[in-house]
Structure 1
Amino acid sequence: MDEHEAGGAGEAVAPEPRVRALLLLALPALAVGVGSALTLWVLDVASDALGELLWTIVPDAVGVANGSPWWTIAVLTATGLLVGLTLRFVPGHGGADSATTEFDSPPPPATAVPSIAIAVVLGLAGGVSLGPENPIIAINGALAVAAFARVSRLVPQRLAVTLAVAGTIGALFGTPVAAALVLTGAVAAIRGGGSLWDKLFLPVASAAAGALTMRMLGVDSMQVDVAPYTDPQLLDLATGFAVAAASALLGIAAAFAFPYLHRLFHALRDPVVFTTLGGAVLGALAVLGGPLTMFKGLEQTAELVHEAGRYTVGALLVLAVVKVIALLVAASSGFRGGRIFPAVFAGVAMGLAGHALIPGMPMGLAIACGALGIVLVATRDGWIAIFLALTITGDVALLPLLCVITLPTWLLVTKAPHLEVEADARRTPQ
C-alpha cells in the first residue's frame, strides 16, 4: 500500500482521533471482521464439500483406487478447464490475476465477486497448490466497499478496504496480531501525528472479530505438534540461519523463475487453454510428489510434521521442490489463490530436512526457520515471517532466536526479486 493509499485510509480517522469517533467506527469494523470471516468460512465449506465429492465420493462410486495417478491428472486437468471457462466467460473474469496481487491490492468491482468465488472454490477443491488468501481478500474488500456505499457514508472506501483486509487476515491466521503486523508498515506511512495504535485501532478490531468468528466456527489453527524448545544453545543461531537461508534460497529461485513461467503460459492467450494446461501439469506434479504436494498446504503441513519420521532427507527435499514448482505453475497458469500457505508447506519440508541433516537440531527450531526463510521471500515482511514461524510451532521460546536469525536472512533476500509478477507481465487477456 503506497503512502497516498495509506493516507486515504487514515483520513477517515484523524491523526489524533477522538475516543467518540473510534467508538462509532468500531461497530462497522467489528461487522466487517465478522462478515469477512463468514465469507471465508462459506468458501472453505463449499470447497471442502466439492473436494470430498471429487476425491472420495465419486472415486469410491466408480471403483477408482485411492491416489490413482490417472484420476489425479484427470481431476486437476478438469479443474483447470473449469477455471479457464470461468475466467473466459463468467462476468468479472475471476478478478485480477492472483500472480500480480498482494494483500493490499485494490479490490475488484462487486460484479467480479461471483467469478472470483467460483474460481477459488474450484481451485481449492481440485487440489491446486494455492491458498485462499489473495482472492478472499479481494472478495471481502469488494463486498465491504459495496455494502458501505449503500448503507453508510461514515466509512470511506479506503477505510472499508483496510478493515476488510484486516478482518480477512485475522480470520485466515486465527489472531488479530497478524493483521496488526501486516498493517503496521502501512499506517506508519500516514502523514500527521497521533499514536500508532490510534491508527491501528479499527483494523485490529476488525481482525479480532474475524479471528474470534473463525474460532467459534471451530476452524483449526496452523499449529503443529512439536516438542517445546527448552535448551537454548549458541550453535542454534548458526544452524537456524543455515536452514532459514536454504529455505530462502529456494524461494529466491522460485521468484526468479516466476515471471518467465507466467509469460510462457500466458503466451497461449486464451485462459481456457493455458489454465487447462496448467491443471494437467499440476496433475503430473501431484503424481510425482504425492498427495501431500496438492491443495493449499495447511492440513498437509500438519500431516507432514506428524509423519516426518517416514521420510528421508531426499524425500523431504523433493516434497519442498515439487510444492514450490506446483505453486509457480498454479499461479502462472491463471488459477486464483495466494502464495503464502503453499510456501509455508515447502518451508516446513525444508526445515524437517535440516532437522534430519543437522545432529541435535530441535525440530521446532528447524520447522520455524524453514518457514521463516521462504515466507520472508514471499511476503518481504519480517514481522509476518516471524509471526508465521511462531504460529506453526506455537512456541514463544523461539522468538529471541527467530528475531536474530531474521536479520541475516533479510539481507539475503532484500535484493532478490519478489514472488510476484511485475507490471510488464500483467497484461493477461481474458
Structure 2
Amino acid sequence: MVRSRKYVGLLLLSALLGAPVAAVAYGFLALVNYLQPALFIRLPVGMGFHTAPAWWPVPLLAMAGLFVALAIRYLPGTGGHSPADGFKPAGTPAPADLPGIVLAALASLCLGVVLGPEAPLIMLGAGLAVLAGRLARRDMPEQAVAVIAAAGSFAAVSTLLGSPILGAFLLMEASGLGGAMLILVLLPGLLAAGIGALIFVGLGSWTGLGAFSLSIPGLPPFTHPSLAEFGWALAIGFAAAFLGTGIRRLAQLVRPHIERRAIILTPLVGIVIAVLAIGYAEITGKSSSDVLFSGQSALSSLIKNASSYSVAALVLLLVCKGLGYSLSLSAFRGGPVFPSLFLGAAAGVALSHLPGLSVVAAVAMSMGAMCASMLMLPLTSVMLATLLLLSDGIAVMPLVIVSTVVAYVVTARLTPRPAPAADQPGPEVVEADPEAGDRGGTR
C-alpha cells in the first residue's frame, strides 16, 4: 500500500492540508489566549473597577453554562463529545457539526471552565481536513477519509503539547490502532504534524504572539533517582489512581442529571465552579485563576513559585480545582489533559515537603500518574511528564514510569467493567449428544 501511487497522493494531500488546518488551529488558540485576559482582567477595568472584583467569575461562568447548553441542545453535533467519557476517538465530525463544536469550546475555554483545548482542536482539525478532502474529491473512499481526518487532527495539535511527537503519540494511543494500519495512518499524520509545527512557529514569529504550547523551563537540575523516590513512586501512583477515579466517577454520576435540564443546570454548575475559585482565592490570597481555566499557562508559574504556596493552600487548591474539574467534565466541552497535569503538579509540589522527595521528581511522578489515571493512556502520560521537564526529563523518567504504571493498573482495577450490550449473544450452550453413547461426544 505504501508503494502505491494512490498512497503517495494521500501523503501529498495530507501535507497540503496540514498548513491551513494548523493556521486555523493557531487562530483558535490565539483567540482563546486573547479573550481570557480580556474578559477577566481588561473588561472589569474598562467598566471602572480598579481590579476585577472577587465575584467577577460568577456571571462569566454562568454565561459559559448557558452558551454551552444552547450549543449542545440546538446546534448539530452536541458541541462535540462529552469529556466525562475520557479521551477517546469520537469519530469524524460532519461539517455541520463544526460551528457547535467551536462555540461550545470557546464558551468553555474563554469563560473559565476547567478544561483544555486539545479535544476541540482534534475534532476541528479532523472536520476541516475531511471537508477540504471531500471538496477536492467527492467520491473519496471511507478509508482515505479516515486517514485525512487523522492527518488534520495531527496538524491541529502539532505543537500544543510542546512537540509534534507528543501529539502523535496521544492520537495513536487513543485510537488503539496497530500493525500495518498504524503505519498507514501514522505517516500522513506525522507529515501533517511536521507541516503544522512549521506553521505554528512561523505564525508565532510573524504575529509576535509566540507559540501556544506547553513547556516548563527553568527547573532545578535533577541528577538521578534515589531508592526513597522509587518508594514514593509506588505511593504516588496508588494515590493518583484513587483521586483520578473519584474525579471521573463524580463527573459521570452528575452528568445524567445535568443533561435532563441542561439549559437551567449547566449555568448553575458554572456558578458552583466560580464559587469554588472565589473561596480558594479568599482563603489563600492567591488568584482565582489557579482554580479556573485548564492550567496550561499557570503550570510553569506554579512550579517556579512552589515556595510561595503553603501545604494547606496546595491541599485546598487540589480540592477546589479537582471539584471544578469534575463538574466541568460533566457539563461542558473541552479536553481533559491540561487540568490533569496541573492537578498532578500541585500534588507534586505539596508532596515535595515530605522527606526524600525533591520538587522535580514529585512533580514529574504526580503529573504522569494523574494523567494516566484520567486519560488511561500510559505511554502518552510518561512522555508528557518527562518531555515537558526538558533536560530533567531523562533522569526522572524511571520514576515516572513506575508511578504511571501503578496508577494505570490501580485505576483499571477500580473502574467497573462495562455492562454487556443487550443484543450481544450469550455464551454458546454445549449440550450432550445422546447418540454419542460411550464415545462421550457432545454437540
Shorter chain as denominator, the TM-score bin is 0.7 to 0.9
Aligned: 1:272 with 2:263: yes
Q: Compute the displacement of 1:90 (Å).
A: 4.2
CA deviations over 1:117-144 (Å, ceiling 9, x no partner) = 1221122111111111112211221111
Kept in 2: contact 1:172–1:211 (CA 8 A):
no
- Quick one: distance in 2 between partners of 1:213 and 1:396? 28
Kept in 2: contact 1:103–1:165 (CA 8 A):
no
Q: Classify 1:407/1:145 alpha carbon distance in 2 versus 1 (closer, same or farther; 3 Å).
A: same
1:97 matched to which residue of 2?
82
- Quick one: distance in 1 between partners of 2:421 and 2:317? 31
Kept in 2: contact 1:174–1:215 (CA 8 A):
no
- Quick one: distance in 1 between partners of 2:176 and 2:55? 52
Aligned: 1:162 with 2:150: yes
Aligned: 1:355 with 2:347: no
Q: Alignment partner for residue 401 of structure 1, among 399, 402, 406?
A: 399
1:25-424 residue pairs with structure 2 within 5 A? 25-90=10-75, 92-100=77-85, 102-152=87-137, 153=140, 156-185=144-173, 189-190=177-178, 197=183, 200-216=186-202, 217=204, 218-224=210-216, 225-268=218-261, 271-289=262-280, 290-333=288-331, 335-356=332-353, 358-394=354-390, 395-417=393-415
Q: What residue identity is the alignment partner of 2:366?
A: G
Q: What residue identity is the alignment partner of 1:127?
A: G
Q: Compute the displacement of 1:297 (Å).
A: 0.9
Q: Compute the displacement of 1:82 (Å).
A: 2.7
- What is the identity percentage for the equivalent residue pairs of Structure 1 and Structure 2? 26
Q: Compute the displacement of 1:58 (Å).
A: 1.9
Q: What residue identity is the alignment partner of 2:348?
A: G
Gapped regions of structure 2 (runs ≥ 5): 205-209, 281-287, 423-443
RMSD of the alignment, in Å? 2.7
For residue 157 of structure 2, give the secondary structure of its aligned residue in structure 1.
helix
Kept in 2: contact 1:22–1:202 (CA 8 A):
no
Q: Classify 1:404/1:50 alpha carbon distance in 2 versus 1 (closer, same or farther; 3 Å).
A: closer
Q: Under a length normalisation based on structure 1, what TM-score does the superposition of the two structures give? A: 0.85
Q: Compute the displacement of 1:28 (Å).
A: 2.0
For residue 240 of structure 1, give the secondary structure of its aligned residue in structure 2.
helix
For residue 172 of structure 1, give the secondary structure of its aligned residue in structure 2.
coil
Relative CO higher for 1 or 2, CA cutoff 8 Å, sep ≥ 6?
A: 1
Q: What residue identity is the alignment partner of 1:110?
A: P
Larger radius of gyration: 2
Q: What residue identity is the alignment partner of 2:379?
A: W
CA deviations over 1:262-315 (Å, ceiling 9, x no partner) = 1232232xx321221121111111112322111111011112112211111121
More moved, 372-381 vs 59-68: 59-68
Q: Classify 1:299/1:137 alpha carbon distance in 2 versus 1 (closer, same or farther; 3 Å).
A: same
For residue 105 of structure 1, give the secondary structure of its aligned residue in structure 2.
coil
2:435 matched to which residue of 1?
none
Kept in 1: contact 2:276–2:324 (CA 8 A):
yes
- Quick one: distance in 2 between partners of 1:62 and 1:174? 37
- Quick one: distance in 2 between partners of 1:179 and 1:61? 39
Q: Classify 1:347/1:112 alpha carbon distance in 2 versus 1 (closer, same or farther; 3 Å).
A: same
Q: Classify 1:123/1:185 alpha carbon distance in 2 versus 1 (closer, same or farther; 3 Å).
A: closer
Q: Compute the displacement of 1:411 (Å).
A: 2.1
Kept in 1: contact 2:41–2:52 (CA 8 A):
no
Q: What residue identity is the alignment partner of 1:330?
A: S
Gapped regions of structure 1 (runs ≥ 5): 1-13, 425-430
Q: What residue identity is the alignment partner of 1:272?
A: I
Q: Compute the displacement of 1:91 (Å).
A: 5.0
For residue 34 of structure 1, give the secondary structure of its aligned residue in structure 2.
helix
Q: What residue identity is the alignment partner of 1:344?
A: L
Q: Classify 1:135/1:231 alpha carbon distance in 2 versus 1 (closer, same or farther; 3 Å).
A: closer
2:441 matched to which residue of 1?
none
- Quick one: distance in 2 between partners of 1:406 and 1:167? 27
1:5 matched to which residue of 2?
none
Number of aligned residue pairs:
401
Q: What residue identity is the alignment partner of 1:381?
A: L
Kept in 2: contact 1:173–1:211 (CA 8 A):
no
Kept in 2: contact 1:241–1:369 (CA 8 A):
no
Kept in 2: contact 1:261–1:328 (CA 8 A):
no
Q: Classify 1:234/1:103 alpha carbon distance in 2 versus 1 (closer, same or farther; 3 Å).
A: same
Q: Compute the displacement of 1:363 (Å).
A: 1.4
Deviation beyond 6 Å, 4+ runs, structure 1: none
For residue 221 of structure 2, give the secondary structure of its aligned residue in structure 1.
coil
- Quick one: distance in 2 between partners of 1:81 and 1:405? 39
Kept in 2: contact 1:145–1:157 (CA 8 A):
yes
